[in-house]
Homo-oligomer: A and B are copies of this chain.
Amino acid sequence: MTIDERLAELGIELPEAPKAVGKYVLSVQTGNLLYTSGIGPQRDGQFPYQGHLGSELTIEEGQAAARLCMLNLLSLIRDAVGSLDRVARVVKVLGFVASAPGFGQQPSVMNGASQLLIDVFGERGRHARSAIGVNELPLNIAVEIEMIVELLPPA
């Protein structure tokens, strides 16, 4: 089964790849590693999850935000390398969660992104991860995620 078939089986349609909101590119490949930029929870050019966990957003909303970041990341990776079947392994995920004072459940929020990777890629989706709280993110988004994936050569 291809990853696109797996996505269809899961009922997932990837969003259009995000636009870079600054003087950078969405990803750079070096050797067989692809480094992505930090990506927010975008959909149709909007940012539906804004605000801080622990005050304005529930854990469930935070998890949905992290999952939406990851859907955008998968979309940009597919655009960059041609097919998600080229993902040999998700190496590293670094997630920043906008956190109100006293909020300490960043890992639970980030599980929204991590679970998607496991659902889509299985063993290849099992990744190292850091979950970090911060006081402010660009455009008041709730979550920002960057990642590194190891690629297979083009088919």
Chain B residue at minimum C-beta to C-beta distance from A113: B23
Contacts of A33 in B (CB 8 A): 30
A118 CB to closest chain B CB, in angstroms? 6
Minimum distance in angstroms from A85 CB to a CB of chain B: 18
Within the complex, which residue of B106, B130, B133, B139 is in contact with A37, where a contact is CB–CB below 8 Å?
Answer: B130
Distance in Å from the Cβ of A149 to the closest Cβ of chain B?
A: 9
Interface size class of A (residues with CB under 8 A): 35 or more
Q: Is the interface of A mostly helix, strand, loop or mixed?
A: mixed
| A43 interfacial contact with B, CB 8 Å | no
Q: Write out the residue numbers on chain B whose beta carbons fall within 8 Å of the beta carbon of A132.
A: 38, 96, 134, 137, 144
For residue A126, give the distance in angstroms from its CB to the closest CB of chain B. 5
Q: Verify B28–A92 contact, CB threshold 8 A.
A: yes
Asked if A68 is an interface residue, CB under 8 A from chain B, the answer is no
Cβ–Cβ contact B137 & A28, under 8 A: no
Complex interface residues of chain A between 20 and 42 (CB less than 8 A to chain B): 21-28, 30-33, 35-38
Bound-complex Cα distance A99 to B99 (A): 13
- Do B26 and A128 have beta carbons less than 8 Å apart? yes
The answer to whether A107 has its CB under 8 Å from any CB of chain B is: yes
Question: How far apart are the CA atoms of A25 and B32 in the complex, in Å?
Answer: 21
B22, B107, B131: the one within 8 Å of A131 (CB): B22
Q: Is A74 an interface residue (CB 8 A)?
A: no
5 nearest A-B pairs in the assembled complex, by CB-CB distance:
A38-B130, A133-B136, A24-B129, A23-B114, A22-B107
